[in-house]
Structure 1
Amino acid sequence: MQAFRERLAEAGIDVALITDDDNVYYLTGYYDYLHMEFGRPTILAVPRDGDSVLITPTIDLNSARASAQVERIAPWNDGKGNEWREELPAIVKDAVRVAIEPDQMPPVVRTFLGELVDSGKLADAAAILADLRMIKSDEELQLARHAGQVGQAMMEAGRAAIADGVPEFDVAIATSQAGTRKAAELLSAHYDDAYMSPNTHFLQIMASGETIINTHRRASTRIMRRGEPVFLCFCGMTNFHRFKLGFDRTFWIGEIADMSQAAVYEVAVASQKAALDALRPGVTAESVHAAYAEVIASAGYEYPFRCGRALASQFGFVETAIELPVI
Structure 2
Amino acid sequence: MSTPFPASVYAARLDRARALTADAGLDAIVVGPGPDLTYLAGVEGNTIERLTALVIPAAGDPTVVVPRMELAKVRDTAVGALGLAVADWVDGQDPYALVTAAMPEAPARLGVSDALPALHVIPLADRLGLRPELATPVLREGRMIKDAAEIAELRRAGEAIDAVHRRVPGLLRAGRTEREVGADIAAAIVEEGHRTVEFVIVASGPHGADPHHEVSDRVIHDGDIVVVDIGGAVPAGYNSDSTRTYAVGEPDPEVARRIAVLVRAQQAAVDAVRPGVTAEQVDAAARDVLAAEGLAEAFVHRTGHGIGVTTHEEPYIAPGNDLPLREGMAFSIEPGIYFPGAWGSRIEDIVVVTADGCVNLNTTPHALTPAGG
What is the TM-score with the length of structure 1 in the denominator? 0.81
The alpha carbon displacement at 1:119 in A equals 4.4
Match of 2:206 among 199, 205, 210: 210
Please give the per-residue CA displacement for 1:102-121, whole angstroms capped at 9, x wherever unaligned: 6443222222232134547x
Mapping of 1:139-150 within 5 angstroms? 139-150=149-160
The change in CA–CA distance for 1:65 and 1:312 in structure 2 (over 3 A counts) is closer
Match of 2:93 among 81, 86, 95: 81
Asked if 2 retains the 8 angstrom alpha-carbon contact of 1:201 and 1:238, the reply is yes
Report the Cα distance in structure 1 between the residues aligned to 2:250 and 2:70, rounded to whole angstroms.
52
Q: Secondary structure at the match of 2:105?
A: coil
Asked if 1 retains the 8 angstrom alpha-carbon contact of 2:57 and 2:103, the reply is no
Please give the per-residue CA displacement for 1:242-294, whole angstroms capped at 9, x wherever unaligned: 322331111011211x3443233223212212211211112111111122222
RMSD: 2.8
The alpha carbon displacement at 1:228 in A equals 0.8
Structure 1: which 4+ aligned runs deviate by more than 6 Å? Answer: none
The change in CA–CA distance for 1:312 and 1:130 in structure 2 (over 3 A counts) is farther
Q: Unmatched 5+ residue regions in structure 2? A: 1-13, 312-330, 334-347, 350-364
Q: Secondary structure at the match of 1:151?
A: helix
Match of 2:41 among 25, 28, 35: 28
% same residue: 27
Report the Cα distance in structure 2 between the residues aligned to 1:202 and 1:295, rounded to whole angstroms.
31
Greater relative contact order, per chain length (Cα 8 Å cut-off, separation 6+) = 2
Match of 2:300 among 299, 304, 309: 304
The alpha carbon displacement at 1:97 in A equals 4.2
Q: Secondary structure at the match of 2:184?
A: helix
Report the Cα distance in structure 2 between the residues aligned to 1:261 and 1:14, rounded to whole angstroms.
57
Asked if 1 retains the 8 angstrom alpha-carbon contact of 2:36 and 2:113, the reply is no
Matching of residue 280 in structure 1 with residue 274 in structure 2:
yes
Equivalent residue, structure 1, for 2:71:
61
The change in CA–CA distance for 1:61 and 1:223 in structure 2 (over 3 A counts) is farther
Report the Cα distance in structure 2 between the residues aligned to 1:251 and 1:40, rounded to whole angstroms.
47
Q: Secondary structure at the match of 2:107?
A: coil
Please give the per-residue CA displacement for 1:26-66, whole angstroms capped at 9, x wherever unaligned: 110111x2x24x54543211123434222345554332121
Q: Secondary structure at the match of 1:267?
A: helix
Report the Cα distance in structure 2 between the residues aligned to 1:76 and 1:216, rounded to whole angstroms.
42
Structure with the bigger percentage of strand = 2
The alpha carbon displacement at 1:124 in A equals 4.9
Instruction: Give the stretch that moved more between structures: 210-219 or 279-288.
Output: 210-219
Asked if 1 retains the 8 angstrom alpha-carbon contact of 2:96 and 2:127, the reply is no
Match of 1:18 among 18, 31, 41: 31
The change in CA–CA distance for 1:147 and 1:292 in structure 2 (over 3 A counts) is same
Report the Cα distance in structure 2 between the residues aligned to 1:267 and 1:119, rounded to whole angstroms.
54
- Counterpart of 2:192 in structure 1: which amino acid? K
Asked if 1 retains the 8 angstrom alpha-carbon contact of 2:33 and 2:115, the reply is yes
- Counterpart of 1:323 in structure 2: which amino acid? A
The change in CA–CA distance for 1:290 and 1:94 in structure 2 (over 3 A counts) is same
What is the TM-score with the length of structure 2 in the denominator? 0.72
Instruction: Give the stretch that moved more between structures: 302-311 or 277-286.
Output: 302-311
Q: Secondary structure at the match of 1:309?
A: strand
- Counterpart of 1:280 in structure 2: which amino acid? R
Asked if 2 retains the 8 angstrom alpha-carbon contact of 1:92 and 1:98, the reply is no
Q: Unmatched 5+ residue regions in structure 1? A: 184-197
Equivalent residue, structure 2, for 1:193:
none
Report the Cα distance in structure 2 between the residues aligned to 1:292 and 1:251, rounded to whole angstroms.
21
The change in CA–CA distance for 1:99 and 1:297 in structure 2 (over 3 A counts) is farther
